[in-house]
Amino acid sequence: MTPAAAAEWLKLRSIRSTWWFAGGALLTMLLVAVLEAEDTAGFLRRHGQPVEPVSSVLVGVEWVQLIFGAFGMLAVTGEYATRSIVVTLACTPSRTRLLLAKTAVVGAAVLAAGGLVAALGVAASAPLLRKYWEFDLGQVAGRILVIAAYMTLVAVLALGLGTLIRRSAGTLSVVFVLLYVLPTALQGLASSLNAEFLNTVADFTPSPAGERFMAGEPAFGLVLMAWAVAAVAAGVWVMRGRDA
């Protein structure tokens, strides 16, 4: 497992797309966090209510999650597109070990990058919100860690789906539907059909579960983890049963 993970880390840090994704995620988060903080500060000037330091970053997560999802997806689909997956499988014949190594490396990379991006988003919005903060360093650090964990699970989910689908466009479409379209469609149907159970179902899709996880409900972190584990497990099962 260690050599497989070392090889995956070497590939990950050696390609330019990794750093483009990291830079894009950081730029997106800073832009959204600052703009949201400016709007929030204007509202608070009129109403004088306190705000959490990470409130602006949570809005940025809605945009950044898709970037990290695409990053996780490309760890697999990029190799299928270039056919370098053949070389990878020749070096690591155990497909279970290979996918677990990819998952571990991508997860660790996104956890570190997601935490850094969230922390810098808080720092960028600080000058605008400092007067209105209810600041607790331990609480802020904990929220940043939860945000990083959420983005990690989204990346792992995308990696598993990429293994199933093998194509970047198809995988990204499925990830987009799961994160944005499916919960909105279920909530719309719940309102139209007066079927409250559909709202409950929507809460257990990845994006709403992640929102509740980041809002301080750890049980929904387990829901999101179940999605990610199921995707990777399905990817292992399919990968072991078909040719490269």
**Domain locations in the chain?**
2-241
Please report which confidence band the pLDDT of residue 139 belongs to, taking 50, 70 and 90 as the band edges: confident
Of 52-56, 146-150, 164-168, 179-183, which range is least confident?
52-56
What confidence tens digit (pLDDT) does each residue in 79-113 have? 888 888 888 888 888 889 999 999 999 999 999 99
CA distances from 188 to 107, 185, 192 (A): 33, 5, 6
Q: Give the mean model confidence (pLDDT) for residues 11-38.
A: 86
CB proximity list for 27: less than 8 A, separation 6 or greater: none
Please report which confidence band the pLDDT of residue 239 belongs to, taking 50, 70 and 90 as the band edges: confident
In the chain, the percentage of residues whose pLDDT exceeds 90 is: 41
Helices and strands counted in the chain (H then E): 11, 0
Specify which residues 133 forms β-bridges with.
51
- What is the average pLDDT value for the chain, to the nearest integer? 87
| pLDDT for the residue 191 | 84
CB proximity list for 174: less than 8 A, separation 6 or greater: 161, 165
| pLDDT for the residue 45 | 62
Q: What is the C-alpha separation between 58 and 37, in angstroms, rounded?
A: 11
Q: Please give the model's pTM, rounded to 2 decimal places.
A: 0.89
